[in-house]
Amino acid sequence: MKNKKYLTLGFAFATLSMSLLLSSSLFAQTKQEKEASRLEALAKFTKVISIVEQYDVDKVTIEELIDKALDGMMKNLDAHSNYLTKKDYKRLQVQTSGEFGGLGITVGMKDGALTVISPIDGTPADKAGLKSGDIILKINKKSTIGMTIDEAVSLMRGKVNTAIDITIVRKGEAKPLLIHIVRGVITIKSVYTRLINTSTLYIRVTSFDKKVARNVAAAIKKHKATTTGIILDLRNNPGGLLDQAVGLVDLFVNDGVIVSQKGRHKSDAKIYSATSSATITNVPMVVLINGGSASASEIVSGALQDHKRAVLVGENTFGKGSVQVVLPITKEEAIKLTIARYYLPSGRTIQAVGVNPDVTVTAGEIKTHENSFSIKEADLKQHLKKELEKIDGKKSTAKEDKKVKKDIITPEMLNKDLQLKSAVDILKALVITK
């Protein structure tokens, strides 16, 4: 019986050893098959290049063919990945570190079309009338079909005070529009603050540069004693630095995940969380968003929405939730590659979906219908003053405050912005319920 037990154990060990050997053999075979497949694919690639080099109607060098192949490969990965030639790489370095002449717009690919994410406030593009959602059909006389974002940016950038013509397709317009723009030096103020009344602080963030969180915090602290509600305007904000988006949310949220980043490898995964020490206010909030709100703007608005910290008003955002890095492949060339995607605290993605507002309000004005025959007390007083001047020959000495302070948003201004007016009304309700 004992011998039988040992025989059974021996058989089990032998079976296990055989299974391990088979698994190891299969693993080695799979690895060999993968390596053979890679070599076969590379051989096919080399063969095609050789045939094209030899028989193409136009004489093309091997270097040119490799560049074209790399360019095509990167373009087909996603809308934001691309191959940077020596010229492209140098241009990118100038863009991120130097001063240049440009239009002042952020563009992206949406449904395969070169689309204006947003014009930046006060820039030539903004003054010329370009709008979020405009599809760029031509840059001067060159079609943008099949053009990469970097190629488009390089065409639009140029010497200050030089002109450029942009042909766009705009929703609601029967035919394409030709917009003439003169390039300028692009300098951006990222944070603007105003008061809507004595207790509502309006904060507009136009882009996420390295000072956004600090400047917003300073504005809140300045008005903290009288502020009962905040309106954060992220409309037409194309994004920027991730750490500033995280820092901005941290001003309003005590704890929990702000945004997470997930890629193919574990090393690409990161979680950014709020800290109670950074939080400076808990007053009710409304965030304004639209189709020009992208990337970092979507992280901020989506995180505040998931934490139920703010009510989102406006329109669905752009939908750019991917992470790109520039990886040099030589001293003068590089690739820009998407390595991860952003996820909001609830786990939902931004990419190609965007952030939906809690209250949808389209852009527009509030039409007022005043009775032209009505006489108000103020009108009557002004009329009587003028009549007195005719008799006395003197102007009234009563002081009138006709100047509107630049840091105040008046009711008349609100009537010209339906989304902002709606945000103010919703914020009033939030303050009352709190």
Check if 406 is active-site: no
Instruction: Say what the alpha-carbon torsion angle 123, 129, 131, 137 is, to the nearest 10 degrees.
Output: -100
Q: At what angle do helices 62-75 and 2-55 cross, to 10 degrees?
A: 120
Catalytic residue from among 110, 320, 336, 421: 320
Are 133 and 362 in contact by the 8 Å Cβ rule? The answer is no
The strand pair at 191-197 and 184-185 is best described as unpaired
Residues, the chain: 434
Catalytic, out of 81, 118, 293, 295? 295
Cα dihedral value 315, 239, 248, 420, nearest 10 = -30
Instruction: Respond yes or no: is residue 142 known to be catalytic.
Output: no
The alpha carbon of 405 is separated from its chain's Cα centroid by a whole number of angstroms, namely: 31
CB–CB of 130/105 below 8 Å?
A: yes
Active-site residue (options: 150, 233, 306, 417): 306
Q: State how far the alpha carbon of 19 is from the alpha carbons of 25, 31, 271, in Å.
A: 10, 18, 41
The question of whether 5 is a catalytic residue gets the answer no
The per-residue b/e assignment along 51-84, b for 16 or more CB within 10 angstroms, e otherwise, is eeeeeeeeeeeeeebeeeebbeebeeeebbbbbb
Whole-Å CA distances, 29 to 42, 167, 413: 20, 57, 72
Q: Which residues contact 86 (CB under 8 A, 6 or more apart)?
A: 332, 333
Q: Which residues are catalytic?
A: 295, 306, 320
